[in-house]
Amino acid sequence: MSQTEPKRHFISAIIDEDIRNNKNEGRVKTRFPPEPNGYLHIGHAKSICLNFGLAAQYHGLCNLRFDDTNPETEEAVYVESIKEDVRWLGFDWEDREFYASDYFDRLYLFAVDLIKKGKAYVCDLNADEVSEQRGTLTQPGRESPHRNRSVEESLDLFLRMRAGEFPDGSKTLRARIDMSHPNLLMRDPVLYRIRRAHHYRTADEWLIYPTYDWAHGQSDSLEGITHSICTLEFEVHRPLYDWMLDHLGIHHPRQIEFARLSVSHTVLSKRKLLELVKEGRVSGWDDPRMPTITGLRRRGYTPASIRTFCDLIGVAKVNSIVDMALLEDCVREDLNRYVPRVMGVLRPLRVVIVNYPEDKIEELEAVNNPENAGMGTRNVPFSRVLYIEREDFMEDPPKKFFRLAPGREVRLRYAYFIKCVEVIKDPRSGEITELRCTYDPATRGGDSPDGRKVKATLHWVSAAHAVPAEVRLYDTLFTKRDAGEVEEGSDWKANLNPKSLEALTECRVEPSLRDAPPGSRWQFERLGYFCVDTKDSKPGHPVFNRTVTLHDPWANIRKAGRENE
Ligand code: ATP
Ligand code: MG
């Protein structure tokens, strides 16, 4: 599953063809153009991997450009988080960090040029009137009464719009295209609006701001982008971008649209994610349940696993939902190779080994990673009082339950066979508070010399040595598979999963984890992969996030696929 050969897809086929035709002298230049109005999510990762990946593959360059034309929603903290996330994913834009706001002067001059060419005019209609006159898919729009203003008058008014002579929203600059064009975006779209808003970079320098549609294509052109890769919803904008570039007569990037990524049981829209943060439905952008890069990082995902995922899902022209299980499988496969195994008990049940000496402590050798002998071994202490997992014992087990039960023998990993001889309960509640067991000293290391078999191997910790810990288990953020696809106007938050977080505060982990560094990753035997929380963990009291369980449904699906080949 690792990345070896770059994947072929329709975009690389287009680029190959352009190179064959010596278009742009064979150069390839792409860009990742986020708007700094939120944190990046896994959908953006797809775009990042694609744009930076293609640039690397064709020995070209990829720019990082902030498309920051919306002063009300953009902030410098988002710029910083975006840079951190792109870097963390493993990509480098070197000195090519650009901002659409750095082009405001040039975009203004482009607009003046269009006016002079008779291709843009100042319109006095307000936003409601403009949209009311736009028409519909079946009805043509109506022409603005100001559409035939002279070039001189529009130039004068545009200058005065910039100078602050008119109130917000009272005038716009519009392209002069065709009010009966079948594509509604071509019906004299707005290029500039008046807004007295403070911009996080240009401060109060500008009173007029370009629309996204006006800024985007021209910014690509100014940067000499050869292949402007964007998501499918921009397909209908392409004729507009073509029109603008052609009338300005400037470098014309080739726009290519691909299907945006949707992942099951989550939403990938910054607006919705921001709403979850603002309403306190999650603890922040970096809540480990969030599909944001910062959330995935805190959860324990690795850059390599996200890159592999983006490579595996491919690039298509049709929208579809990718199963979250695929992302989980990618991180499992990555972590499996190098993450050390340890033992931790999530819901401890006290076990007293009645025939083990009171004051004896043994150091037993445990393997750090059976997949990687080079990772060596460590010692774990064993003593008379242990904890095992509460759910590994049943007093009255059903047929298929092979773990510990009264009178039954099981193996403790790296230790001994033990047999349950007595169950102690709280006399009032009836709750099981302790098990009394015997151990067989001849089974040290977990093997029986007489060939006796047991059907289960349990993880455990020594009560006196174990470290108290908190462990956070996660389920999907939403209960609905297509949580991101709910109709406009319906309550998408109704599908939030009330059980997406389970915090277990009474856990006990082996002593080697006492000072596990924040961000370090571990496999708890039988329980999954865990990452030490970077915010809440403290020396002596670690907090672990479960990245993913060990359960791997995809392995079976892939195996079945191979068998069918
Ligand atoms: P959102 O819908 O989450 O607000 P956006 O498209 O408005 O996303 P931008 O900051 O404009 O966010 O996105 C930057 C780049 O990332 C764009 O080129 C966009 O096409 C791409 N992108 C955003 N979401 C996805 C996605 N789900 N799958 C693939 N690419 C995406
Ligand atoms: Mg966008």
Residue 561 has pLDDT above 70, yes or no: no
Task: Please state the rounded mean pLDDT for residues 56-62.
Answer: 97
Question: Residue whose CA is closest, atom 3 of ligand 1?
Answer: 269
pLDDT at 312: 96
Residue 151 has pLDDT above 80, yes or no: yes
* Ligand 1-lining residues (CB < 6 angstroms): 33-35, 43-44, 46-47, 230-231, 260-261, 268-271
d(CA 249, CA 241): 12
What are φ and ψ of residue 145, in 5° steps? -60, -15
Q: What is the pLDDT of residues 332-379, one digit of tens each?
A: 999 999 999 999 999 999 999 999 999 999 999 999 999 899 999 999
436 labelled catalytic: no
Question: Residue whose CA is closest, atom 13 of ligand 1?
Answer: 34
Task: Please state the rounded mean pLDDT for residues 170-174.
Answer: 98
35 CA distance to ligand 2 centroid (A)?
6
Return mean pLDDT, the chain.
95
Q: What is the pLDDT of residues 315-333, one digit of tens each?
A: 999 999 999 999 999 999 9
CA of 313, nearest ligand number = 1
71 CA distance to ligand 2 centroid (A)?
15
- Cα separation values, 414 from 277, 325, 417, 493, Å: 44, 31, 10, 47
207 CA distance to ligand 1 centroid (A)?
27
d(CA 58, CA 45): 20
pLDDT at 376: 96
CA of 267, nearest ligand number = 1
d(CA 391, CA 563): 36
Question: Residue whose CA is closest, atom 27 of ligand 1?
Answer: 43
Which residue out of 260, 419, 436, 514 is catalytically annotated? 260
Give the ligand 1 atom nearest the CA of 269: 3
Lowest mean pLDDT among 99-103, 405-409, 537-541: 537-541
Residue 1 has pLDDT above 80, yes or no: no
pLDDT at 564: 41
Beta partners for residue 379, in sequence order = 365
Of the candidates 422, 348, 357, the one whose C-alpha atom is nearest the C-alpha of residue 388 is 348
β-sheet with 172-175: strand ranges across: 120-123, 172-175, 190-194, 208-210
d(CA 430, CA 411): 27
Question: Residue whose CA is closest, atom 2 of ligand 1?
Answer: 269
Task: Please state the rounded mean pLDDT for residues 394-412.
Answer: 97
pLDDT at 557: 52
54 CA distance to ligand 1 centroid (A)?
17
Residue 563 has pLDDT above 80, yes or no: no
pLDDT at 555: 53
272 CA distance to ligand 1 centroid (A)?
13
Q: What is the pLDDT of residues 487-533, one digit of tens each?
A: 888 899 999 999 999 999 999 999 999 999 999 999 999 999 999 99
Residue 546 has pLDDT above 90, yes or no: yes
Whole-number percent of the chain with pLDDT over 70: 97
Top mutation candidate among 44, 227, 488 for ligand 1, by most atoms within 8 Å of CB? 44
DSSP sequence for 347-377: SEEEEEETTS-TT--EEEEEES-TT-GGG-E
CA of 48, nearest ligand number = 1
Give the ligand 1 atom nearest the CA of 46: 29
Residue 560 has pLDDT above 90, yes or no: no
pLDDT at 488: 80
Alpha helix (H) ranges present in 89-175?
Answer: 104-116, 127-132, 151-163
pLDDT at 489: 81
CB-based contact 545:536 (threshold 8 Å) = no
d(CA 330, CA 554): 10
Question: Residue whose CA is closest, atom 16 of ligand 1?
Answer: 44
Question: Residue whose CA is closest, atom 29 of ligand 1?
Answer: 260
What are φ and ψ of residue 226, in 5° steps? -95, -40
In eight-state DSSP terms, residue 487 is P
Give the ligand 1 atom nearest the CA of 35: 10
CA of 322, nearest ligand number = 1
pLDDT at 517: 97
Residue 98 has pLDDT above 70, yes or no: yes
Which residue out of 174, 270, 298, 299 is catalytically annotated? 270
440 CA distance to ligand 2 centroid (A)?
65
CA of 39, nearest ligand number = 1
315 CA distance to ligand 1 centroid (A)?
14
93 CA distance to ligand 2 centroid (A)?
20
Top mutation candidate among 231, 266, 274 for ligand 1, by most atoms within 8 Å of CB? 231
Beta partners for residue 190, in sequence order = 174
CB-based contact 514:469 (threshold 8 Å) = no
Lowest mean pLDDT among 75-79, 423-427, 561-565: 561-565
Angle (CA) 448-453-454 rounded to 5° is 105
* Burial label, 110 (beta-carbon count in 10 A; 0-12, 13-18, 19+): buried
Task: Please state the rounded mean pLDDT for residues 461-479.
Answer: 98
Which residue out of 29, 35, 510, 521 is catalytically annotated? 35
Q: What is the pLDDT of residues 257-305, one digit of tens each?
A: 999 999 999 999 999 999 999 999 999 999 999 999 999 999 999 999 9
CA of 213, nearest ligand number = 2
| pLDDT tier at 486, thresholds 50, 70, 90 | confident
Question: Residue whose CA is closest, atom 25 of ligand 1?
Answer: 43
177 CA distance to ligand 1 centroid (A)?
28
260 labelled catalytic: yes
384 CA distance to ligand 2 centroid (A)?
61
Q: Model pTM?
A: 0.94
35 labelled catalytic: yes
Q: What is the pLDDT of residues 209-247, one digit of tens each?
A: 999 999 999 999 999 999 999 999 999 999 999 999 999
| Domains of the chain and CATH, by start | 10-258 (3.40.50.620), 270-340+470-557 (2.40.240.10), 344-459 (2.40.240.10)
Count the helix, strand and coil residues of the chain and give each as a percent rounded to the nearest 5.
Answer: 35, 25, 45
> Per residue, what are the HEC states of 288-319?
CCCCEHHHHHHHCCCHHHHHHHHHHHCCCCCC
Top mutation candidate among 47, 50, 220 for ligand 1, by most atoms within 8 Å of CB? 47
| pLDDT tier at 12, thresholds 50, 70, 90 | very high
Give the ligand 1 atom nearest the CA of 234: 20
